[in-house]
Amino acid sequence: MAAVILFLAPLQANASAKKPRPFDLSKIPTDDSWEDTGIMAEEIKPCGRDYVYMGLKKIKAKNEEDDRYRLHVRNMVTGDEQLSAAEPYQHEKFIGCTPDSRFLFIENSPYQLPSELHVYDTATMKKALTITSGSESGGAPSLHSFSPDGRYLLTDEKKSSIIILPDGRKITLLPLEHQLGGNVISATWSADSKKVYAIIKRGPDELVIYDVETGKQRVVVLKYNDSKYSDHIGVGILVHPETGKVYIHAGFADGMELSSVEYLFMFDPAELPKKGKRNVVKPKFLGNIFATVECGPGGTLLFSMMPDQEGYEPSFPKAYEGIFLADSDGKVLKRVTKSEGKDEGCCKIYPRFMPERNFLIVTRQNVTLGDEPFWRDTIYRKKNFQQPR
């Protein structure tokens, strides 16, 4: 079956100057199997299989510089919530959690040096470990994402190192940029944690498939049109854990500036030649104006539509706000959520899916011109889904 293009604007350099024509919303059925849990916060992020991280709770003091903050998590199976002891967090960067949700990694003051990496036990929210060195800059290493099995954590360090958790398990910090020898724009893991897929900029757009165990690299040159040195650049990548298909967000580059229009491409690594360290691939064009894309259940994609980034207004009717479901080739199947209709100028919308528990976290960011941006996260769940223990 041919890929379904969501918008009918042509793929060309000046596409951003045209208003795209959306698909017919009246023909897209609503998926009524999702319900709002009523759980809402300024920040909600998946924290392993069972928990979500819900940001900081401020404890105000007489002097603003004496304010303290408590980290906040929720067990989505039991409903229990935990808060850490109050600490003087000015900035915090949530790194992630081990896959079993046992340990949470948070970086304190990631924009200032020295930086500290704190590891919390989510059952008690007591600090289990603090890392204050290991980076060439003298602070904690800059970390990115856990492997699905929790054995690796991507970092921008030049050397590999190991974190030993209180329960004895070891996490290897993987120095990806040093290993690949180039500027990593975006990276993600295969479902089996054996490979890292990274978009790297060193000449033409290249995707490197890095074997973690052997250190071997396979380079895929992304050929978005008839020229090897395309004017399109990849800015984001994800690999679907069920199908293994690779999805790439790309945009038209005018010099060093990225156009506001983004495109979604896909290719299947299973179709690559069995031999060869360097292959040229022309990925399949799935559509334009995909704002955000997340892997959904059963090989599907969850996505929202692209607002006009320059005008800070949606480039499609307000009725098209929300999260949609598409198949692996970009064909729109259903609508999952609708606009709440409360916020003028809202929203950039981001989906995040927790597959083991069938929870969908939807982030809405207000982008009204002239206003301070705000974030609001809401959790949806599948109706009648029996949570495994």
Q: What are phi and psi of 65, to 5 degrees?
A: -70, -15
Predicted local confidence at residue 277, as pLDDT = 86
Helices (H), the chain: 176-180
Predicted local confidence at residue 143, as pLDDT = 55
Counting other chains too, the contacts that 271-276 makes at CB distance below 8 Å and 24 or more residues apart are 272/218, 272/220, 276/218
List pLDDT tens digits, range 285-307. 888 767 889 999 999 999 987 65
Reference 167, options 148, 153, 150, 147; nearest CA is 150
At 323, is the secondary structure helix, strand, or coil?
Answer: coil
Predicted local confidence at residue 309, as pLDDT = 46
Successive 10-residue mean pLDDT values, the chain, 389 residues:
31 41 79 91 92 90 80 93 83 87 82 73 92 52 78 82 91 82 84 92 77 90 63 82 92 55 83 87 82 91 71 62 90 84 61 92 71 77 75
Spans of all domains in the chain:
47-177
C-alpha–C-alpha distance, residues 351 and 370, integer Å: 25
Predicted local confidence at residue 292, as pLDDT = 85
C-alpha–C-alpha distance, residues 193 and 205, integer Å: 24
C-alpha–C-alpha distance, residues 271 and 143, integer Å: 32
Count of all residues that appear for the chain in the document: 389
Predicted local confidence at residue 18, as pLDDT = 45
pTM of the full structure: 0.83
Residue type (1 letter), 328:
S
Predicted local confidence at residue 322, as pLDDT = 86
Contact (Cβ atoms closer than 8 angstroms) between residue 88 and residue 107 = no
Q: What are phi and psi of 176, to 5 degrees?
A: -65, -50
Residue 198 β-bridge partners: 187, 208
Q: How far lies 233's CA from each of 78, 228, 248, 263, 284, in Å? A: 44, 12, 10, 10, 15
Reference 205, options 224, 179, 181; nearest CA is 224
